[in-house]
Amino acid sequence: MTKLMWDKVGERFFETGVDQGVLYLPDSAGNYVNGVAWNGLTNVTESPSGAEPNAQYADNIKYLNLFSAEDFAATLEAFTYPDEFQQFDGLAVPTPGVAVGQQPRKTFGLSYRTKIGNDLEGDDFAYKRHLVYGCKASPSEKAYGTTNDSPEPINFSWSLTTDLQPVTGHKPTAIV
């Protein structure tokens, strides 16, 4: 029998941080061709749902569990967003300095990086790039407050829903 070992030096891994956000703009065919840097990204909370077991019975016993389809959603938070994001946030800009709200929301792509660390190299060991497809953004409230001796920037927040995209050799997904 093989002896198992836990917490070996160099194998104590963790994931931390979020940075290098990229907004992907679709072309007229829906392909993501251009990426725009997303500065000020502060938080991404992934919220998968579904994959619920559904017990099936036969011959008076539990025969199997079928799982419901899984869905991917997220909450995105940032101090700012690229100008190109306005069209995905329900804003139209007919003339510079004027934004018309409550417009149709378009689909976009998003990626962000998280860092992988270990006990030897801290958070510089590696990184993971998260790719999210078929996103639509819904806004959260924005609180504008007076500036005082401890000013804080507004933290914008959006709830993201996704549509599944085909992946060769796999079931459709919204996140890679």
| pLDDT tens-digit readout, 118-171 | 999 999 999 999 999 999 999 888 888 888 898 889 999 999 999 999 999 999
In this prediction, residue 152 carries a pLDDT of: 87
pLDDT at residue number 61: 94
Query: CA torsion angle for 131, 137, 143, 144 (degrees, to 10)?
Result: 90
Q: Note the pLDDT tens digit of each residue in 62-102.
A: 999 999 989 999 999 999 999 999 999 999 999 998 989 99
Structure tokens, 23: 């907004």
d(CA 147, CA 72): 37
This prediction has a pTM of: 0.86
The predicted model gives 108-125 an average pLDDT of 95
DSSP 121: T
Residue 119's pLDDT is what?
Answer: 93
| Residue type at 74 in one-letter notation | A
